[in-house]
Structure 1
Amino acid sequence: MFSKIKARYRGLGPFFVLWSTQSLSALGSAMTSFALVVWSYQQWGSALSTGLLSVCSYAPYVALSIFSGALSDRWDKRKTMLLCDSAAAFCTLCALALLSTGRLAMGHLYLLNAVSGLMNTFQQPASDVAVSLLVPREQYHQVSGLRALSNSLVTVLAPILASAVFAFGGLGAVIAVDLSTFAVAAAALCLAVRLPHTAAETGPREPTWQVAKAGLVFLAQNRGVLHLILFLAAINLTASMYNAALPALLLSRAGGGEVALGLVNTCAGLANLVGSAAVSLAPAPKSRVRVIMGALLFSMSTENLLLSLGRGLPVWCLGSVLGWLCIPAMNANLDVLLRLHIPVEMQGRVYSVRNALQFFTIPLGYLAGGALVDGVCEPLMAAQPACSPLHLLFGEGKGAGAALLFFFLAALGVGTCLLFRRSRAIWALEERPPRR
C-alpha cells in the first residue's frame, strides 16, 4: 500500500518543499488573523468592526486582480511570491511595533490589512501557476488533495495555537510566531525552489490591458468555467456573511466565549482534515461537477441551520463538522477542473479574472453580515416580546440576532446551490476533453 502511495507522489520533491513551507507560513498568518478577531471584538464588541478587517484585505485584491494576473504572467513567479510575502510580513512587523508602543488601533489594522491584501493580489496567481509548473498533469488530483489537506491542518491548528499563544503572551506573541514562519518560507523559496520560465515571461511583452482582456475573452468563450466561477462567487457571499456573524454568535451567547470560538473553528479544521485525507488517497471521481454541487448543498443545508437553532457547544461543533467535512472534495475537484480547462500559459491572467469575479462578493458579504447583525437582527430580536416565536427559535439576549441571520444564510445557501445546479454549461465541462 505504501509503495503505491509513494509511486503516486514520485517526482514531486520541489513541490513538497514549496507546499510545506508556504503552508507553515499560512499557519502563522491564520494565527494572527484569529487573534486579531478576538482582540478587536474584545475592544469594540461589534461584528461590523471585525468584519471590516476582512473587507480591507479583500477590497484591493478584488479591485486589482484582473491587472495583477497580467503582470504576474510576465514576472518571475518565485521572485513575485518572495517580494509579496516580504511586504506582507513587513505589515505584520508594523502591527507588532505599534502594539509594543501601545498605539495599535483598528484604523492601523485596516490600513495594514489593505496593504497585505494588495500584495496577495499578485502573490496568489503566481502561487497557483507555480503549482502547475512543478506538477505533471496526471498528478493534479493528488496535489489538489494535498493542498486541501494543508488548508485543513491550518484551520485545525490556527485557533488552538493562537488561543494558547494569545493567552500566554498576548497578541504580540502571536505576531512574533507569524513572522518566524514567514522567515522559514522565505528561506525555502530563495534556496530550494526553482521554477521553469513560462512563454509569457520569455516571449514578447504585450500591453497590460491587452493581457488582462485575454483573460476576460477566455472566460467569455468558456461559459462552463465562467458559470462555475459565478457559482462560487454566490457561495462566497453566504460564506463571508457567515464569517462576519460567527464571532458575534459564539462570543456573545451563554456557553460561548473565546474557547467556544476556538473549538468550533478546530472542529471545522478536523472535519477538513478528514475530508482532505480522503481526497488525497481516493481515486478521481466519475463526475467532478456532481461532487462540487453535492458537497456545497450538504454544507449549506447543515451547518448554518445547526448554528442558528443550537443552544450549546455540542450542537455548534456538530454543525461545524457537517459543514466542513465535504469542502475539501469540492475544492480539490474545482481546482482540477480549472487546471484541466485553462492552458498553463493563460492561467495567471485567467485566475486573476477568476479572483476578481469569484471573490468580489466576499467584502460585500462581510459588510452585509456585520451590518445585518449589528443594525437589523440584534435590534429586531431585542424588540421581541417575551416568549415570542423568534425567541423560542433563536433564544434571547445578545447573540440571538446572529442566530437569526444564520437561519437566513441556510436558506440562501441552499437556494444558490439549487439554482446553479441547473446550469448546463457547468455540466458540459465533463463532456469536453481537457485542453492541451
Structure 2
Amino acid sequence: MTQHPKNTGMRIFTIIWFGQMISAIGSQLTSFALGVWVYQQTGSVTQFALISLFTTLPMILISPLAGMLVDQFPRRWIMLFSDLGAGISTAVIAILLSTGDLAIWHIYMGAAISSCFAAFQWPAYTAATTLLVPPQDLARANGMLQIGEAAGRLVAPILGGVLLLFLDIDGIIYIDFASFIFAFSILLFMPFPKQYIDRHRAQITPWFKEASYGLVYLIKRKGLFALLLFFAVNNFLVGIVQMLVTPLVLSFASATELGTIMTIGGVGMLASSVIVSVVKTPQYLILSIFSFMLLGGICITCAGFYQLVPVLALIAFLFFFGLPIINSSTHIIFQKKVPSSVQGRVFATVGAIANASQPFAYTVAGPLADKVFEPLMTPNGLLAGSIGTIIGVGQGRGIGLMFIVMGILTVLTAMIAYQYKPLRLVEKQLPDAVNYHSVVN
C-alpha cells in the first residue's frame, strides 16, 4: 500500500469537506423553507414536528444495512450514491411545488427518502475521513466537520429568511440542487483513498450477521459500548429540550428574540468548531466529553429558571460551544479504536443507537408539556405554591420546569457514567487500531 505524503490526504479531505458543507447548507435551506411552507399551509405544530420524525426514523431503521454495504463497496461510490438519491428527491419536490401539485405527504415522503440515503452517507463519510487523514490530523478534520454543521445552523435560518423575501420556495430548492451538483462533482473527480475490503469474508458471512456485526463489535468492547449508550441517553434528554426551546422562549419573548438567541448559539458552536480544528488534541478526550456534558446539563437547568433574553442568549452560547468538542472528541475515539475495514458497520450502528432515542423524545415532549408539566405550573396548579414561587407560574413555566428536570438528569447521567471504569479509561485500556492511509489517482 503506497503511503501518501503527509499533507496530501488532508488537502483532498479539505476539498471534499468544502463541497459537502456547501451541500449541507443547501439542504438545510430547503429544510427551513419546507418547514415554513408546511406550517403556513396547515398551521399545525404536530404536522410541522412530523418532518423531524420522518427525517430521523428511516435513517435509524436502515443504518445496519447501510453500514454493511459501506464496508463492502468503495466509500466514494457510496457517498456519490447517497448524494445522488437525496438530490433526485429534492428535485422531485421542486417540480411538484412549481406545478402546484405538492402535498404535505410529499414533504414527509421526501424527508424519509433523504433520511434513507443519509444512512449511507454519514458512515461512509466518517470512515473515509479515517482513511484520508493521518491520525495526528483527525482532531483538525473533525473540527472542520463541526464547522460545517455550525455554519449550516448559523447560516441557513438567516439566509433562508432573507431568500424567502425575494424567491419562491421552489427557488430555494433549486439553490439546494445546485449545491448538490457542486458537491457531487467534487466527489466524482477527486482522488480517494484505497479501501481494504475483505471480499472472502463478505461472501461466506450471512447478511444478517454482517448487518449486526457493528453491534456485536461494540458489545465486546465495553468502553465503546458504554460511550454509545451514554450518548443515546443524553440525546433523549437533549431531544426533549430541543423540541421545547421554541415554545419556552415564545412564552415570554418575540420570534425575533428567539432568532437572536439561536443565532448566538450558532456563533458559540462555530467558535468552538474553529478552536477544535486548530488547537492540539488533549491527551484524554473522554475527560473533555464528561466536562462539557456537565456544562450542557447545567445550561439546560439554568434555562428553566430565567425568562430574560440576554441570559438565555449566554446560556445558548455556552451550550452550543460544548457540542463540537463533545462530538469531535467522540468521533476521534471511535476512529482511533475501530479498524478502518469495519468502520462502516460500526459507525452505522453508532449512528442508529445514538439517534434512536430522538424520535421517542420528539413523540413524548409535546404530551409531557401539555398534559403534565404545564398544568402543574398554572396559577392554581399543584406546584404553584412550591416550585412556582421560585420559577414563576403561567404559560411556559411548565416547560421551564421540564428544562430543569432534563438538565438535572443530564448532569446525573454524566456523573454516573464517569463512575464506570471501562468508559472512563476507554482511551487507556483499549488499544488503537491500525488504519492505513493511501490515495488513488
Answer whether TM exceeds 0.5 for this pair: yes
Greater shift in the superposed pair: 27-36 or 283-292: 27-36
**Alignment match, 2:326:** 330
Matched, 1:311 2:307: yes
- Contact 1:47–1:244 (Cα < 8 Å) also in 2: no
**Alignment match, 1:281:** 278
Partner Cα distance (1:50, 1:402) in 2: 19
AA aligned to 2:407 is A
| Structure 1 pair 202–82 and aligned structure 2 pair: CA distance change class (3 A) | farther
Equivalent residue runs for 1:376-387 within 5 Å: 376-381=372-377, 384=380
Q: Cα offset for 1:271?
A: 0.5
**Alignment match, 1:161:** 159
Partner Cα distance (2:401, 2:43) in 1: 18
Greater shift in the superposed pair: 108-117 or 333-342: 108-117
Q: Cα offset for 1:236?
A: 0.7
Matched, 1:354 2:350: yes
- Contact 1:159–1:265 (Cα < 8 Å) also in 2: no
Matched, 1:62 2:60: yes
| Structure 1 pair 204–229 and aligned structure 2 pair: CA distance change class (3 A) | closer
**Alignment match, 1:237:** 236
AA aligned to 1:287 is Y
| Deviation string, structure 1 residues 174-198 (Cα, Å, up to 9, x no partner) | 3232222111111111122434232
| Structure 1 pair 96–223 and aligned structure 2 pair: CA distance change class (3 A) | same
| Structure 1 pair 93–265 and aligned structure 2 pair: CA distance change class (3 A) | farther
Greater shift in the superposed pair: 206-215 or 227-236: 206-215
**Percent sequence identity over matched residues?**
28
Equivalent residue runs for 1:90-239 within 5 Å: 90-200=88-198, 204-205=202-203, 206-239=205-238
Equivalent residue runs for 1:8-87 within 5 Å: 11-44=9-42, 46-87=44-85
Partner Cα distance (2:410, 2:262) in 1: 20
**Alignment match, 1:420:** 417
Partner Cα distance (1:331, 1:84) in 2: 23
> What's the TM-score, normalizing by structure 2?
0.88
Partner Cα distance (1:312, 1:45) in 2: 28
Partner Cα distance (2:155, 2:355) in 1: 25
Partner Cα distance (1:227, 1:387) in 2: 36
Partner Cα distance (2:240, 2:37) in 1: 20
**Alignment match, 2:364:** 368
Aligned mate of 2:267, from 265, 270, 277: 270
**Alignment match, 1:297:** 294
Q: Cα offset for 1:153?
A: 1.9
Partner Cα distance (1:169, 1:399) in 2: 35
| Structure 1 pair 414–386 and aligned structure 2 pair: CA distance change class (3 A) | closer
Q: Cα offset for 1:227?
A: 0.2
The DSSP-based 3-state class of the residue aligned with 1:416 is helix
Partner Cα distance (1:201, 1:164) in 2: 51
Q: Which runs of 5+ in 1 are unaligned?
A: 1-6
Greater shift in the superposed pair: 51-60 or 342-351: 51-60
Q: Cα offset for 1:69?
A: 0.5
Q: Cα offset for 1:204?
A: 5.0
| Structure 1 pair 46–201 and aligned structure 2 pair: CA distance change class (3 A) | farther
AA aligned to 2:416 is L
Q: Cα offset for 1:429?
A: 1.2
Partner Cα distance (1:211, 1:385) in 2: 54
| Structure 1 pair 309–31 and aligned structure 2 pair: CA distance change class (3 A) | farther
Q: Cα offset for 1:372?
A: 2.3
Greater shift in the superposed pair: 19-28 or 61-70: 61-70
Q: Cα offset for 1:338?
A: 0.5
Q: Cα offset for 1:238?
A: 1.3
Greater shift in the superposed pair: 206-215 or 79-88: 206-215
Q: Which runs of 5+ in 2 are unaligned?
A: 435-441
| Structure 1 pair 162–374 and aligned structure 2 pair: CA distance change class (3 A) | farther
Partner Cα distance (1:70, 1:312) in 2: 49
Partner Cα distance (1:157, 1:280) in 2: 20
> What's the TM-score, normalizing by structure 1?
0.89
Partner Cα distance (1:372, 1:18) in 2: 42
| Deviation string, structure 1 residues 342-397 (Cα, Å, up to 9, x no partner) | 00001011111212211110111111123323443445545746994566655666
Partner Cα distance (1:187, 1:202) in 2: 32
Number of residue equivalences: 427
